[in-house]
Chains A and B, each alone.
Chain A
């Protein structure tokens, strides 16, 4: 703490971060949590309508997390360990489910795998009832395995190849090495991956809403209380319940993180290659990934086809009219807003998260654990309540000068803070403190050292924060649905309206446009980032 007093600028920066967190994370959420009042909570708990969705939520969480993590694990193993072919292709496929608003994708599943689905009935003559637990399970598995895959791949790739080589040297086979060396080494990372995926799944609203039928989980109950009956207080109580589950998961994750991490991070990178896996295994990985990719491609292919036909699946005459519709009128504005809001939010969120992560990870001041907790908290808040919290908190007469677009951006920034923050903390753990100290000892203030030395070295974390925030901002409906205004409509709102209007062709065309735009933006950012890196290399 005294070290902060010695550097007033650093103290000010810290206070600013704390103030922003209090204003933009804590204050809006308090609005939601206190909304029902004690009487509201009492009658809600006594009413008991929450019991079934609560149990359902836990069931779905257990099932979908298990399958998504297993699938993600296989995919990650295939990508990190095997030398299967087409890795870039599989990498792209692994991103697709992250880039699409889930409520349209779930509809595509119904078309393919419903009781009269193109595959289930058309090909196999089966009429499965996919509405309910089964459907949610299937769709969430596909939708969330990419998250699990990214997290697990990260954990696996951090295990030191030298140890695996050593184990192989001692005569262990590939499977044995994996079981006795790789797996135990990456256990903390795996645990974190499982719990993070579980949090995403338990707060998923879009998929259960579309394919859940009467199988109600907490997020759909909360949403439908609002949408069907305008019952805000009960919905807020449901949301608080959901928040508690997510918090429990988060605390479990903290415990895991706090436990000894065996992941070997040495300052000097090991350039040793991983021991090769048998060709059979590579082929198994390849075929497994191919099947998965097939399912994903089919789902997105269906979207593309319905966007290009008159009335899918009844009238398959090709037409461009849905796309014409998407690019005319105010629809184009919505696409542009999506791009602008998401990019700005992603950039601000990633940089802010990086700075906050640095303050917390490198700090020695009291209360940093509380800040750490608050920066992760938004991960546990359902988007719809983040949005309502913002509207309640910031729709004030004296704030009317604030541009609504700015408010939307702020909501996206702070709702997504946990991603960038966790990436920053993980990244900082890999950078020895002496790097910061070297800058300080050469006369740079700690803030300057952060900017000159730590920030450039955390490019990877910054990229994770940026890309994930961007992707989530592009695909979020729930956060913005209470904040958007006519001038600040975004693509997901449009798609939602089109789905409600039963304009299926328009909705799919809009989704295709949205996904394509997001991919294009990511490509451009990737190219720019690489360009800057190349520039830095050339400067020497």
Chain B
């Protein structure tokens, strides 16, 4: 079993490594000792919350740093961020930690990941003043979670291959994807494994006015064109970036981000699409409840909304926040009437139905 190490061979490599490891010592902290007045200059009637909060964040790493930095700057509250751009893992973690909660805040990820925690009594209800004007579909009635951003499902295509192999024709409707020209060139985030894939499928059901038979018929025909179901949504984007496949339904904000990096890809949003509501919630047993509430308040300010839009290309649930350049908005695109509660409650049944339909 011993991996026999040959010393001389390794020593040649070791020189290069020493440089890398030697430089990796210094760490940074997001904590800021300075105190800044609250954004907007409103006068708070209660004493200002202070200290630090522990944030479980499903947002992208690049968003985390700037967003929480701005929060600290605005409120003086420090953050300890546990970043994991996989909301399901954070949800599981909060469940497993219920005996001694370690998080104050769970931020990011579609509300589907927050809602079960609320039902299990693991979230602290809080109705932020900033949530007062939000549409009902953007918040939990008791304040267990609040939606602060939206993500719209769109379609990514690889420019070169789309032009060469499909005459540059992007899908205007989801039905366009049934064109045999797409055969073997499409991929889809796996509906069984990814929240995005499931939202895509639920969208189809709502598109056909909850006629599940018609929706499944669509999924079956689509299946004939799909080369692969991909286990993660970001993983699917990479494959389109590389031109391994030509197109994929996916999150439009992430598609925009990929495009912005210089990948030869483009975004379209077909008619009748679905969306997610990115939520924020306070974990029950939070060590610093006032500061956690201050975080929710801050996330629901227009300033925070605008910053998140800038950093992630997502939309804000606040009416007054402008969308990112080139990003679709809920008002612009054609949406299905997405019943989040129904989609959540019927998930197991729908997935099983789908598995039977396509024979996976």
B84 near A481: Cβ-Cβ < 8 Å: yes
B95 near A232: Cβ-Cβ < 8 Å: yes
Stretch among B2-10, B202-210, B269-277 lining the A interface: B2-10
Measured between beta carbons, the chain B residues less than 8 angstroms from A513 are 17, 20-21, 24
With A210-B235, A502-B258 already in contact, the answer to whether A335 and B21 are too (CB < 8 A) is: yes
Task: State how many angstroms separate the Cβ of A480 from the closest Cβ of chain B.
Answer: 11
Partner of B242, one of A110, A210, A397, A523: A110
Partner of B10, one of A115, A146, A210, A522: A522
Task: State how many angstroms separate the Cβ of A131 from the closest Cβ of chain B.
Answer: 5
B2 near A154: Cβ-Cβ < 8 Å: yes
Alpha-carbon distance A500/B63, docked complex (angstroms): 13
Partner of A213, one of B87, B100, B194, B230: B230
A150 near B234: Cβ-Cβ < 8 Å: no
Alpha-carbon distance A498/B61, docked complex (angstroms): 8
B360 within 8 A of A: yes
B231 near A224: Cβ-Cβ < 8 Å: yes
Task: State how many angstroms separate the Cβ of A99 from the closest Cβ of chain B.
Answer: 9
Partner of B229, one of A98, A214, A229, A330: A214
Alpha-carbon distance A391/B95, docked complex (angstroms): 10
- Provide the A465-504 mask, 1 if CB < 8 A to any CB of B, else 0: 0011001000000000110111100000100011111111
Alpha-carbon distance A250/B234, docked complex (angstroms): 37
Partner of A397, one of B1, B24, B100, B263: B100
Task: State how many angstroms separate the Cβ of A501 from the closest Cβ of chain B.
Answer: 5
B86 within 8 A of A: yes
Interface residues of A in 224-275 (CB under 8 A from B): 224, 226-230, 232, 235
A329 within 8 A of B: yes
Measured between beta carbons, the chain A residues less than 8 angstroms from B10 are 92, 519-520, 522-523, 526
A383 within 8 A of B: no
B142 within 8 A of A: no
With A336-B25, A471-B3 already in contact, the answer to whether A500 and B86 are too (CB < 8 A) is: yes
B310 within 8 A of A: no
B85 near A501: Cβ-Cβ < 8 Å: yes
Task: State how many angstroms separate the Cβ of A74 from the closest Cβ of chain B.
Answer: 17
Task: State how many angstroms separate the Cβ of B192 from the closest Cβ of chain A.
Answer: 7
Count how many chain B residues have C-beta atoms less than 8 Å from C-beta atoms of the other chain.
Answer: 84
Task: State how many angstroms separate the Cβ of B227 from the closest Cβ of chain A.
Answer: 6
Task: State how many angstroms separate the Cβ of B266 from the closest Cβ of chain A.
Answer: 14
Interface residues of B in 1-60 (CB under 8 A from A): 1-11, 13-14, 16-18, 20-21, 23-28, 60
Partner of A228, one of B83, B198, B348: B198
Chain A CB within 10 Å, residue with most, of B25, B235, B242, B258: B242
Measured between beta carbons, the chain A residues less than 8 angstroms from B5 are 91-92, 95, 467, 522-523, 526
B88 near A228: Cβ-Cβ < 8 Å: yes
B264 near A314: Cβ-Cβ < 8 Å: yes
With A213-B229, A311-B263, A523-B14 already in contact, the answer to whether A467 and B3 are too (CB < 8 A) is: yes
Partner of B244, one of A110, A520, A522: A110
A517 within 8 A of B: yes
Measured between beta carbons, the chain B residues less than 8 angstroms from A95 are 3, 5
B1 near A517: Cβ-Cβ < 8 Å: no
Alpha-carbon distance A516/B257, docked complex (angstroms): 31
Measured between beta carbons, the chain A residues less than 8 angstroms from B23 are 327, 332
Chain B CB within 10 Å, residue with most, of A323, A327, A333, A502: A502
With A327-B24, A513-B20 already in contact, the answer to whether A229 and B230 are too (CB < 8 A) is: no
With A115-B244, A115-B245, A332-B23 already in contact, the answer to whether A523 and B239 are too (CB < 8 A) is: no
B337 within 8 A of A: no
B360 near A52: Cβ-Cβ < 8 Å: yes
Interface residues of B in 47-105 (CB under 8 A from A): 60-62, 80-89, 91-93, 95-97, 99-100, 102
Residue of A nearest to B184 (CB): A129
Task: State how many angstroms separate the Cβ of B235 from the closest Cβ of chain A.
Answer: 7
Residue of A nearest to B13 (CB): A519
Count how many chain A residues have C-beta atoms less than 8 Å from C-beta atoms of the other chain.
Answer: 99
- Provide the B273-309 mask, 1 if CB < 8 A to any CB of A, else 0: 0000000000000000000000000000000000000
- Provide the A330-369 mask, 1 if CB < 8 A to any CB of B, else 0: 1111011001000000000000000000000000000000
A150 near B93: Cβ-Cβ < 8 Å: no
Chain A CB within 10 Å, residue with most, of B2, B8, B198, B243: B2
Alpha-carbon distance A333/B23, docked complex (angstroms): 10
Task: State how many angstroms separate the Cβ of B160 from the closest Cβ of chain A.
Answer: 10
Alpha-carbon distance A423/B1, docked complex (angstroms): 8
B193 within 8 A of A: yes
With A110-B242, A314-B263, A332-B24 already in contact, the answer to whether A519 and B100 are too (CB < 8 A) is: no
A224 near B100: Cβ-Cβ < 8 Å: no
Task: State how many angstroms separate the Cβ of A123 from the closest Cβ of chain B.
Answer: 16
Task: State how many angstroms separate the Cβ of A116 from the closest Cβ of chain B.
Answer: 5
With A213-B230, A519-B10, A523-B5 already in contact, the answer to whether A397 and B89 are too (CB < 8 A) is: no
Measured between beta carbons, the chain A residues less than 8 angstroms from B228 are 129, 131-132, 213-214
With A114-B244, A213-B229 already in contact, the answer to whether A92 and B9 are too (CB < 8 A) is: yes
Chain B CB within 10 Å, residue with most, of A98, A212, A227, A311: A227
Task: State how many angstroms separate the Cβ of A461 from the closest Cβ of chain B.
Answer: 9
B338 within 8 A of A: no
B238 within 8 A of A: yes
Measured between beta carbons, the chain B residues less than 8 angstroms from A227 are 86, 88-89, 193, 232
Measured between beta carbons, the chain B residues less than 8 angstroms from A38 are none
Alpha-carbon distance A501/B108, docked complex (angstroms): 14
B195 near A229: Cβ-Cβ < 8 Å: yes
B124 within 8 A of A: no
A126 within 8 A of B: no
A375 within 8 A of B: no
Chain A CB within 10 Å, residue with most, of B83, B93, B237: B93
Task: State how many angstroms separate the Cβ of A19 from the closest Cβ of chain B.
Answer: 22
- Provide the B111-131 mask, 1 if CB < 8 A to any CB of A, else 0: 011001000000000000000
Measured between beta carbons, the chain B residues less than 8 angstroms from A502 are 234, 237-238, 241, 254, 257-258, 261
Task: State how many angstroms separate the Cβ of A463 from the closest Cβ of chain B.
Answer: 6
Alpha-carbon distance A179/B199, docked complex (angstroms): 58
Alpha-carbon distance A293/B122, docked complex (angstroms): 52
Measured between beta carbons, the chain B residues less than 8 angstroms from A460 are 2
B190 within 8 A of A: yes
B347 within 8 A of A: yes
Measured between beta carbons, the chain B residues less than 8 angstroms from A88 are 6, 8-9
B167 within 8 A of A: no
Q: Would you list 24 pairs from A and B whose C-beta atoms are within 8 A, ordered by A residue? A: A88-B6, A95-B5, A146-B3, A150-B1, A150-B2, A209-B232, A213-B230, A213-B231, A216-B192, A227-B86, A229-B347, A230-B95, A230-B113, A230-B116, A315-B262, A323-B20, A329-B27, A395-B102, A482-B92, A482-B93, A485-B82, A513-B21, A519-B17, A520-B10
Residues of A that sit less than 8 Å from B by CB: 47, 49, 52, 88-89, 91-92, 94-95, 98, 107, 110-111, 114-117, 129, 131-132, 146, 150-151, 154, 209-210, 212-214, 216, 220, 224, 226-230, 232, 235, 310-311, 313-315, 323, 326-333, 335-336, 339, 388, 391-392, 395-397, 399-400, 419, 422-423, 460, 463-464, 467-468, 471, 481-482, 484-487, 493, 497-504, 513, 516-517, 519-520, 522-524, 526-527, 530
Q: Which 5 A-B pairs have the closest CB atoms?
A: A332-B24, A230-B91, A516-B17, A224-B193, A214-B229
20 new A-B pairs (CB below 8 Å) besides A88-B6, A92-B9?
A91-B4, A92-B5, A110-B239, A154-B1, A154-B2, A213-B230, A214-B190, A214-B229, A224-B193, A227-B86, A227-B232, A230-B92, A310-B262, A311-B261, A327-B20, A391-B96, A397-B99, A400-B100, A485-B82, A497-B84
